[in-house]
Amino acid sequence: MGEKTKAHELAEKQKEISISEFFTKNRHLLGFDNPTRALLMAVKEAVDNSLDACDEASILPELIIEIKELSEERFRVIVEDNGPGILKQNLPNVFGKLLYGSKFHRYVQNRGQQGIGISAVVLYSQLTTGKPIKVISRISEKRPAYYYELNIDTLKNEPKILKENEVEWKKSHGIRVEIELEGRYLKGKQSVDEYVKQVAVVNPHAEIIYTNPDNEKINFPRATNELPRQAQEIKPHPYGLELGNLISMLSVTKARSLTGFFTGDFSRVGKKTAEEICEKAKIKSEASPRLITRDQAELLLKSIKETKIMAPSADCLSPIGAELLEKSMKKEFVADYYATVSRSPDVYRGFPFLIEVGIAYGGDLPKDEQVRLLRFANRVPLLYQQGACALTESFAETNWKPYGLQQSGLNPPVGPALVVVQISSVWVPFTSEAKEAVAHYPEIIKELKLALQDCGRKLGIYIRKHVHAQEQRDKANLFENYIPELASSLSNISGESKTEIEAKLKKILKKNIKEILGEINNEAQE
């Protein structure tokens, strides 16, 4: 019985893989696949966290972002906020442990959601420079500020603290992170400069002071002093629940009856609905959740699907709002016309979400280029993976011709316009851990198209009324200039008075213009 089989040999190689090792080897999954993108990711993850923390603590954010070029391929990124700070005992895990955070287990709209972001930056910094992250945190003026230098023990996925002491700091609360990494600084549509500008557009309540590696200091003042609506945490909705989740919820609930379980652990389920669910499944509503078998859980799930339950509340969402979106767009893009739409919330897989769209037209926008699309998810600009994103696809698949833009096939439209699209949700379904593209859920695509069409119609009315009318007037003026010459030719041929012919021609022109312009105005008032 003691022989050593092939299975024994293989067994010696089987071992656990730490999540830090996994993402070190697979760092492209997190967006660190080239130096340009890596620099952006570092800024992005730090900024996401700062804005989230300020929003949760109801603080108007003041962000200082600074990138210093140390050598052609090495940069220092500093992000400082006035947020609530992080407790001393939690700080090392927040920065030095992957899959650790406050957002993953909750149903509430946040920029971060996975507990990976900032620690992935630390991992990448360590991989490319061997240097630790430097963090200052302070939670109140009554307490000292703490300074940490730490990196990640990748084998254990645990923070390794290299330095830890009290420091003097001018701020009464906030976080300051300083991180060194291999990167590349480029200008353009996927640059950090562009990212910061777009952050300002969808976060009109934030003040940002940004210094880029060229030592240009750019200020983005607030467009409003009002805090965004505080997103409320909600409980899961029974629709979209999966059997495995139901079984595990039943096994850990504190409720002592099914009625208590359904009304207490879910949103939008009252006593009557809970009893209806149990009755349809032919299970007593007083039954203890912990004694429910797999087969009974399956019956309950079936019965949930057959029971009418109110849609989830939208309190958990914090959209920008049509008015404020327009205000921010005006601040950052010079155009002749702006239109914005903020839809009502809808639901996919049980998660509430909401779509907002804005269009700017004319002005400084380039005339003969493809219309630029700016994508956002929970107020975070998405600069990469445009082709794989449901927002891009819905934009290109919308028929823009009726709204006055040129378009061929399923390509993006052409014209002097710019489109902003944002999805807000408690759980944005990203296609990868890098969180740059939204997955193709049919419910999301439907809402996107409705919002784009809605905005498109507004644009169409404007273009017909102002742009086409002007074009018509220009044409009429052009024609009017030829009337004297035409009249004189006609007078020569017919022998009639030139003045009379001229008068008649002007009358006809005037009459027709009125008709043409009348039509345009009527259409515009539809």
In 10 A of CB 233, how many CB atoms? 11
Query: In the complex, what is the shortest distance from the CB of residue 162 to a second copy, in angstroms, rounded to a whole number?
Result: 11
Q: Is 491 in the site for a second copy (CB under 8 A)?
A: no
Q: Which is nearer to a second copy, 361 or 427 (CB)?
A: 427
Q: How far apart are CA 236 and CA 350, in angstroms?
A: 7
Q: How far apart are CA 524 and CA 261, in angstroms?
A: 54
Query: In the complex, what is the shortest distance from the CB of residue 467 to a second copy, in angstroms, rounded to a whole number?
Result: 33
Cα torsion angle, 290, 291, 293, 296, sign: negative
Contacting a second copy within 216-255 (CB under 8 A): 242-245, 247-248
Q: How far apart are CA 368 and CA 383, in angstroms?
A: 22
In 10 A of CB 500, how many CB atoms? 11
Q: Which backbone phi and psi does 381 adopt, to 5 degrees?
A: -65, 140
Contacting a second copy within 24-53 (CB under 8 A): 24-26, 28-29, 33, 53
Q: Which is nearer to a second copy, 301 or 419 (CB)?
A: 301
CA dihedral 171, 202, 323, 375 (to 10 degrees): -170
Please name the residue that has the structure tokens 């205000």.
327
Q: Which is nearer to a second copy, 441 or 479 (CB)?
A: 441
Q: Which is nearer to a second copy, 209 or 247 (CB)?
A: 247
Half-sphere exposure of 46 (CA within 13 A, CB side): 31
Q: How far apart are CA 522 and CA 142, in angstroms?
A: 66
Q: Is 204 in the site for a second copy (CB under 8 A)?
A: no
Task: Count residues near a second copy (CB under 8 A).
Answer: 75
Q: How far apart are CA 28 and CA 48, in angstroms?
A: 20
Contact residue for a second copy among 71, 89, 225, 525 (CB under 8 A)? 89
Contacting a second copy within 299-338 (CB under 8 A): none
Contacting a second copy within 170-199 (CB under 8 A): 173
Query: In the complex, what is the shortest distance from the CB of residue 306 to a second copy, in angstroms, rounded to a whole number?
Result: 16
Stretch that binds a second copy, among 15-23, 183-191, 199-207, 364-372 (CB under 8 A): 15-23
Query: In the complex, what is the shortest distance from the CB of residue 373 to a second copy, in angstroms, rounded to a whole number?
Result: 18
Query: In the complex, what is the shortest distance from the CB of residue 192 to a second copy, in angstroms, rounded to a whole number?
Result: 22
Q: Is 82 in the site for a second copy (CB under 8 A)?
A: no
Q: Is 22 in the site for a second copy (CB under 8 A)?
A: yes
Q: Is 397 in the site for a second copy (CB under 8 A)?
A: no
Cβ within 8 Å of residue 122, ≥6 positions away: 95, 96, 132, 133, 150, 151, 152, 179
Query: In the complex, what is the shortest distance from the CB of residue 177 to a second copy, in angstroms, rounded to a whole number?
Result: 15
Report how far apart, in Å, the C-alpha atoms of 334 and of each of 131, 305, 359, 363, 504 are: 43, 49, 12, 6, 44
Contacting a second copy within 422-451 (CB under 8 A): 427, 429, 431-433, 439
Q: Which is nearer to a second copy, 244 or 363 (CB)?
A: 244
